[in-house]
Amino acid sequence: MTATQDLQSTYPPNNAVRVGVATRNDDGTLSVSFQGEIVPSGWLDLTGQISLGDPIAAVRGESSWLLLGAVRTAPVVPRVATSIVTSSSSTFTALTAVMSVTATLKANVTYKVTAFAHFASTAVNDTVTARIRQDTILGSDLNLDPNILITSTGGVSSYQEAEYTPTIDVTKTFVLGAQRATGAGNITLTANSNFPSYLYVDYVRGV
């Protein structure tokens, strides 16, 4: 059997599905192997983003067609990493890391880092500043929510997001930090199973 015949034998029949195995290439990228053969293939874009001219994957069953989405040259996953906190932090006043999330990112791909948190104080009308930072609590800011006014000791919510585009493939940590800006109370990140806090990394664009 020739190499061409070997490759063709790995193809599924029309209208059929075949399961392959993820394989790492010499350059570190991923391919899919079917019966030991690397088959040229694309990756389904799970974000649902479609533009004019995009190749679109479809499955045919007799006269019915199911469109699956755009096909890309590299894997595209909407949610890359998630951190969920369901218990309150210790009290603090100085800048403190209250959440962190670590994600494996691809070079020249843009990601969104989103933080949703709930802050409370032992004193009414304290203000809090929350920051999304790179790597550690001492890293540079990506965004911040300044002067979060705590109108009651029950606390208030904070939402912020930032985009980040690495220049190399990297495993990257993002930190949500917070500190008392004004007032005299002690601050906490408040959370439980009924109102958790979140720190997400999502795919935005690029391959």
User: Cβ distance 158 to 145 under 8 Å?
Assistant: yes
In this structure, are 117 and 141 located in the same domain? yes
- Please give the tally of structural domains in the chain: 2
pLDDT in tens, 137-160: 999 999 999 989 998 888 899 999
In this structure, are 64 and 84 located in the same domain? no
Q: How many Cβ atoms sit within 10 Å of the Cβ of residue 100?
A: 17
CATH number at residue 163: 2.60.120.1340
User: Cβ distance 194 to 87 under 8 Å?
Assistant: no
Tokens of 184: 């005299």
Q: What is the mean pLDDT of the chain?
A: 87
Q: How many Cβ atoms sit within 10 Å of the Cβ of residue 17?
A: 7
Q: Which region holds residue 160: left if phi is over 0, alpha if psi is between -120 and 50, else beta?
A: beta
Question: How much is the pLDDT for 127?
Answer: 95
Q: Average pLDDT, stretch 110-132?
A: 95
Q: How confident is the model at residue 1 (pLDDT cuts 50, 70, 90)?
A: very low
Question: How much is the pLDDT for 12?
Answer: 60
pLDDT in tens, 69-119: 888 887 777 889 999 999 999 999 999 999 999 999 989 989 999 999 999
Residue 101 backbone phi and psi in degrees, to 5 = -145, 145
Q: Please enumerate in sequence order all residues whose Cβ is within 8 A of that of 112, keeping only pairs 6 or more positions apart, or say none.
A: 161, 162, 163, 164, 200, 201, 202, 203, 204
User: Last residue of some domain: 72, 87, 108?
Assistant: 72
Domain that holds residue 89: 79-205
